[in-house]
Amino acid sequence: MTQPRALIIAGPTASGKSALALELAERFGGTVINADAMQCYRELRVVTARPPPEDEARAPHALYGVLPAAEAGSVAWWREAALAEMARARLPILCGGTGMYLRALTQGLSVLPEIPPPAREEARARLAALGAERLHAQLPPEDAARLRPSDSQRIARALEVWLATGQSLAAWHRTAPRLPPADYDFRAILLTPPREQLHPAIIARWAIMRAEGALEEVGALLEQGLDPGLPAMRAHGVPELAAEWRGEASPAEADARAIAGTWTYTRRQATWFRHQELVAPAATHRINARIAGLAQFSERNAPEIFAFLQRAG
């Protein structure tokens, strides 16, 4: 049987993924399915630059704002939810910059152990008490070697596995059973605008977030009194605006820190997408298609993109 088709629109923050996905969804009758970890959270519409209601009205959108900030999303949760949405869509259009989410669809996913609450709570308590860098030094050596000292979420996850099982996360990845790649014939468009265009785009997008109420959105989030270790509490811009809300930083300081943090993350994203293959090799009936050097999506890019899709079938 012929596999159903699915389209991936991927790339770093501020590269124009959402605009392109919307254009393609309207033209081909597709459903835009969110593949950005932070855009899943209900309370973070502005600070994560989720598609506005008027865009959602133009074409079906799925998995945007579906989780409360009090819950922690995961790759496994997203994969299952995305597969359910893909099964309902005429043409699934997976749009986002969380590469691990997309890779879990196209390359499969290791099934990691269930973490009992005591191990999870101890890991979060150690993270809060020691900070990411000091906790990183306490990880099993093979986990420490593959994780950045600043990556608090993955450091906490590695510690949870260690506390619950006595094994490193790396060891679990080597031996755990794997969920297979999704049974779809994927096409991929990777947006790779020049970095000198991305930095101004990040600054412009931050100004729009400010004008649309990002500070007030973060203030409402803080009023919930959530665990600061939750993913939503660490979304880009949230810690910086939280400091401003509490009077610990001026607006200018919050802006500078948020833009710098987003820019650092965007550069890492661009490097990841440059070196990773999202779509499986042709032997497994997956097609990896990249349009190198594509600037932020605009109407002038449309002929190039549609010509690629026509060639790819």
**Alpha carbons 296 and 14: distance in angstroms, whole number:** 8
Q: Comparing C-alpha atoms, which of 191, 239, 184 is closest to residue 215? A: 239
Beta strands in the chain (DSSP E): 5-10, 31-34, 61-62, 92-96, 109-110, 178-179, 185-190
pLDDT tens sequence for the chain (313 residues)? 588 889 999 888 888 888 889 988 998 899 999 999 999 999 999 999 999 999 999 999 999 999 999 998 989 999 999 999 999 999 999 999 999 999 999 989 888 777 787 887 888 888 888 888 888 888 888 988 888 887 887 888 888 888 888 888 888 878 877 889 999 988 888 877 777 778 888 998 999 999 999 999 999 999 999 988 788 998 999 999 999 999 999 999 999 999 999 999 998 888 887 777 776 433 222 223 333 333 445 455 666 666 666 665 5
**Alpha carbons 62 and 45: distance in angstroms, whole number:** 14
The answer to whether the pTM exceeds 0.85 is: no
Gyration radius of the chain over CA positions? 20
Q: Delineate the domains of the chain, giving CATH numbers in brackets.
A: 5-108+180-312 (3.40.50.300), 117-175 (1.10.20.140)
**Alpha carbons 111 and 81: distance in angstroms, whole number:** 16
22 neighbors 93 (Cβ within 8 angstroms):
no
**Alpha carbons 195 and 213: distance in angstroms, whole number:** 27
The structure tokens 């309370």 sit at 43
SS3 state at 67: strand
SS3 state at 257: helix
What pLDDT does residue 299 have?
Answer: 52
